[in-house]
C-alpha cells in the first residue's frame, strides 16, 4: 500500500543527477535539515560539497526520500531500483512525459511505465520540483524559495512548480507548513497528497492551486477528512477560458474540465473558492489566524470616511452584512469617541482619539463586544524605510486589547498590501489577529470563512 509518510518526513534523502541535484543538497543545508543527504552519481566524487555514492546499492540503507534529477528515460531505471530496495518515495523532476509535445501517446506510455516501475513506492510528478516541509526542515526542492521554518502553518499544493515558488516569495507573514508540487499527478494527485497532511496538527489550513482534477472521489475523500479534522480547504481553480484549458493540457497533461461544474462541485464539498493569487494567500492567512466565521455580520472601523465608504462599496453584492449597531451599542461607542463622531457601521472614528491608547481601547472594545462575527480595523502603516510608525503603536495596542475583550474574529486590513509591513503582520498574527493586505481580499476571505463554517453545519454531502 502506497504511503507518503516517509517521503514527507524523511530521515535521509538521496539525490540523483548533476546541477539540479546539487541545488537540493544546498537547499537542504540552508533549511537546516538534520538528516543525512546522500548524493548518488556514477562518476563525480562530490556533489554540493558532499561525497557521492556510486550507486543505490552502495547507500547505507534504503532512503526515505529521493530527488531524481536525471533525464526521463534514466528516471524510470532509478525509480525501479529505488522501489526494489524499499525506498520511501521519490520526486521525479524530469519533464517529457504525458505533457510532452513530441507525441502525447509516447509521453503517456512513458508515464504509465513510470507508475508501474514505482509500484507501492510513493512518487511525486513527474515534471515537478517536489516538496518543502518547513515544519521539519526536510526539502527535496532544486531551486531557491522564499519560506522559512515554521512551527504551524498552511499547506500549499499545486501542479505548477513555478507558481509555488512565487507563492513562497510572499512577504505577507503567511506561515507555510508545506509547499508541494504534484506536476503531472501520475501517481499522487493533489487530493491524495493533501489527505496525507490533513491529520498533521501543525497544519492550520490547506490551499490547492488546481489546474485539473484527476480523481473526483479523491477530492470527496479529502473534503470529508478535512471536515472531520476541522481543517479549512481553499482552492484557486484555473481553467475558465478556453486558452487556460489548452495551457493546462500542455503544461501538466491535465484536463481542467468545465469551470462552472467544477466550481459547483468544490463548493458543495465545503471547499472555499477564490479567483486570484492575492485572494488565495490572504484567505489562507485569515483562516490560519481566526478560522471559519460563525456568521456573515461584519463591522468596519477606520479613522477615515474615505476608507469607510470604500469598504462599504466593496462589500456591495457580497454575502456579508454590515449589521447596524443597536442603540445600546451606539451609546457605548459614542461615550468613548465623543459627540463629534457619528456612530454607524462602517464606523469612521476620525482622529480625535488618535494617540490616546485608553480612549481608543474603550471605543474599539465597544465595537468588538457588539457581537459581529468579524470586526475589521482598517489601518495602513507608513513605509518603514522612510517613515516613523511609532504613533501607530497605540492603535495597535488598543486593537489587540479590544480583540481579547471581544473574543471574536478580528482583522487589521490595510487598503494596500504594501501598507501592511511583514514585521507588523507577523506581530498581529502572533496576537491572534488576521493581518490583511487589501480590503477586497479581506472581504473575500470573510466570505470564504463563513462558507466553510456553513458547510460544516450541514449534513455531509
Q: Give the model confidence (pLDDT) of 131-148 as tens digits.
A: 999 999 999 999 999 999
Residue 202: name the closest of 234, 232, 177 by CA: 177
Torsion over CA: 330, 333, 338, 344 (sign): negative
Q: What is the mean pLDDT of residues 411-440?
A: 98
**Parallel/antiparallel/unpaired status of strands 46-47 and 50-51:** antiparallel
> What average pLDDT does this structure show over 374-398?
97
Residue 65 CA to residue 82 CA, distance in Å, equals: 10
Strands 36-40 and 12-17: parallel
pLDDT at 452 over 80: yes
Q: Do 392 and 357 touch, CB atoms closer than 8 A?
A: no
C-alpha cell at 171: 512577504
Asked whether residue 419 carries a pLDDT value surpassing 50, the answer given is: yes
Q: At what angle do helices 422-430 and 393-406 cross, to 10 degrees?
A: 30
Beta strands in 152-266 (DSSP E): 153-158, 176-181, 203-210, 233-237
Percent with pLDDT over 90 in the chain? 90
The end-to-end CA distance of the chain, in Å, is: 28
Cβ distance 380 to 403 under 8 Å? Answer: no
Note the pTM of the prediction, 2 decimals: 0.94
* The predicted structure's pLDDT at residue 461: 81
Lowest mean pLDDT among 61-65, 106-110, 283-287, 343-347: 106-110
- What is the maximum alpha-carbon separation in the chain? 82
Report residue 347: phi and psi, to 5°: -100, 125
Neighbours of 3 (CB within 10 A): 13
Over residues 209-248, the pLDDT tens digits come to 999 888 999 999 999 999 999 999 999 998 765 554 554 5
- Return the pLDDT at 131: 98
Residue 16: the pLDDT is 98
Q: What pLDDT, on a 0 to 100 scale, did the predictor assign at position 249?
A: 46
- For 304-320, what is each residue's pLDDT tens digit? 999 999 999 999 999 99
pLDDT level of residue 198 (50, 70, 90 thresholds): very high
Q: What is the mean pLDDT of the chain?
A: 94
| Per-residue confidence (pLDDT) for residue 308, from 0 to 100 | 97
- Would you state the pLDDT for residue 245? 52
User: Is residue 101 pLDDT above 90, yes or no?
Assistant: no
How far is 197 from 335, CA to CA, in rounded Å?
Answer: 49
In whole angstroms, what is the distance from residue 394 CA to residue 363 CA? 13
Task: Give the range among 22-31, 197-206, 232-241 with minimum mean pLDDT.
Answer: 232-241
Question: What would the mean pLDDT of 345-374 be, rounded to a whole number?
Answer: 96
Note the pLDDT of residue 106. Answer: 87
Amino acid at each position: 500500500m502506497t504511503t507518503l509518510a516517509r517521503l514527507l518526513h524523511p530521515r535521509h534523502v538521496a539525490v540523483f543527477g548533476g546541477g539540479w541535484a546539487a541545488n537540493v543538497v544546498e537547499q537542504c543545508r540552508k533549511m537546516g535539515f538534520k538528516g543525512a543527504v546522500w548524493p548518488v552519481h556514477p562518476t563525480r566524487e562530490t556533489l554540493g560539497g558532499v561525497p557521492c555514492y556510486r550507486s543505490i546499492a552502495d547507500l547505507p540503507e534504503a532512503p526515505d526520500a529521493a530527488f531524481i534529477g536525471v533525464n526521463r528515460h534514466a528516471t524510470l531505471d532509478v525509480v525501479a531500483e529505488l522501489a526494489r530496495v524499499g525506498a520511501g518515495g521519490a520526486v521525479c523532476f524530469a519533464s517529457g512525459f504525458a505533457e510532452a509535445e513530441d507525441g502525447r501517446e509516447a509521453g503517456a506510455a512513458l508515464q504509465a511505465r513510470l507508475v508501474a516501475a514505482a509500484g507501492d513506492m510513493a512518487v511525486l510528478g513527474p515534471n515537478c520540483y517536489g516538496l518543502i516541509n518547513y515544519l521539519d526542515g526536510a526539502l527535496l526542492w532544486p531551486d531557491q524559495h522564499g519560506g522559512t521554518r515554521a512551527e504551524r502553518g498552511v499547506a500549499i499544493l499545486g501542479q505548477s512548480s513555478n507558481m509555488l515558488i512565487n507563492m513562497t516569495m510572499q512577504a505577507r507573514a503567511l506561515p507555510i507548513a508545506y509547499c508541494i508540487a504534484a506536476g503531472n499527478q501520475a501517481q499522487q494527485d493533489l487530493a491524495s497528497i493533501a489527505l496525507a497532511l490533513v491529520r498533521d496538527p501543525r497544519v492550520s489550513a490547506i490551499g490547492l492551486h488546481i489546474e485539473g482534477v484527476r480523481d473526483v472521489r479523491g477530492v470527496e475523500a479529502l473534503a470529508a477528512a478535512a471536515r472531520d479534522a476541522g481543517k479549512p480547504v481553499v482552492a484557486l481553480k484555473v481553467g475558465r477560458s478556453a486558452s487556460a484549458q489548452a495551457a493546462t493540457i500542455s503544461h501538466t497533461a491535465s484536463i481542467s474540465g468545465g469551470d462552472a461544474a467544477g466550481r459547483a462541485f468544490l463548493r458543495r464539498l465545503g471547499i472555499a473558492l477564490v479567483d486570484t493569487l492575492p485572494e488565495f494567500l490572504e484567505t489562507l492567512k485569515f483562516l490560519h489566524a481566526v478560522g471559519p466565521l460563525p456568521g456573515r455580520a461584519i463591522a468596519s472601523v477606520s479613522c477615515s470616511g474615505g476608507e469607510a465608504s470604500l469598504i462599504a462599496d466593496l462589500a456591495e453584492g457580497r454575502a456579508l452584512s454590515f449589521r447596524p449597531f443597536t442603540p445600546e451599542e451606539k451609546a457605548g461607542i459614542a461615550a468613548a469617541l465623543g459627540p463629534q463622531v457619528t456612530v454607524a457601521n462602517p464606523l469612521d472614528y476620525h482622529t480625535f482619539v488618535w494617540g490616546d491608547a485608553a480612549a481608543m481601547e474603550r471605543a474599539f472594545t465597544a465595537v468588538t463586544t457588539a457581537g459581529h462575527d468579524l470586526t475589521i480595523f482598517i489601518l495602513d502603516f507608513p513605509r518603514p524605510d522612510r517613515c516613523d510608525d511609532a504613533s501607530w503603536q497605540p492603535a495597535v495596542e488598543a486593537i489587540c486589547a479590544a480583540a481579547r475583550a471581544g473574543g471574536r474574529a478580528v482583522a487589521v486590513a490595510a487598503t494596500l498590501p504594501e501598507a501592511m509591513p511583514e514585521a507588523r503582520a507577523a506581530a498581529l498574527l502572533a496576537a491572534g489577529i488576521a493581518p490583511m493586505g487589501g480590503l477586497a481580499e479581506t472581504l473575500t476571505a470573510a466570505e470564504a470563512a463563513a462558507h466553510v463554517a456553513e458547510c460544516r453545519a450541514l449534513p455531509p454531502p
